[in-house]
Structure 1
């Protein structure tokens, strides 16, 4: 979807005048409202783009950290198994291998 208008284009728009035309004041007031809306839309779009960029960067940083957490969990599991093995050796001694 391509945006074809902005507040500057709306402001500078000239209409042909005719005998049975519209009230110039009403058209100007309506165009002023449209310009305000376009300005608000542009501001909202820029805010959303900035938020989108921030969230993408946050997601990248989170994805990079995730493997480190898994690696740490793997080390923890290895440590637990090693301690369990040592405990079995201590409790059961030579009976463990019979």
Structure 2
């Protein structure tokens, strides 16, 4: 899916003139609009390619960095159990009065 046209090719395109052909001015105006669009598309495409390259590099660099250690085995149940044991130790029999 290669891009076959650019604004320079569009600008330099010559059409044969016929007696009952299209209005040259209208064709030129339309080609000018197409050239503007192609220039805008090329600019956007260049920006997106640059961003894509930058993001790929960031992704590669991120995968090379060591990941921080995640806490092991601390679930909500474990935390609640520890809290319960702590309350029993601190408050003793007063906890259930």
Please give the TM-score of this superposition, normalised by the length of structure 2.
0.69
Q: CA deviation at 1:16?
A: 0.5
Give the CA deviation at 1:19.
Answer: 0.8
Name the structure 2 match of 1:3. Answer: 3
Give distance in 2, aligned partners of 1:4 and 1:53. Answer: 23
Larger relative helix fraction: 1
Give per-residue Cα distances to partners, 1:41-93, cap 9 Å, x unaligned.
Answer: 1001000000000000110111011xx235xx28x87xxxxxxxxxxxxxxxx
- List gaps (5 residues or longer) in structure 1: 78-98
Aligned to 1:48: 48
Root-mean-square deviation (Å): 1.6
Match of 1:15 in 2: 15
Structure 2 residue runs of 5 or longer lacking an equivalent are 73-97
Whole-Å separation in 1 of the counterparts to 2:7 and 2:24 = 18
SS at match of 1:19: coil
Equivalent-residue separation in structure 1 for 2:67 and 2:53 (angstroms)? 25
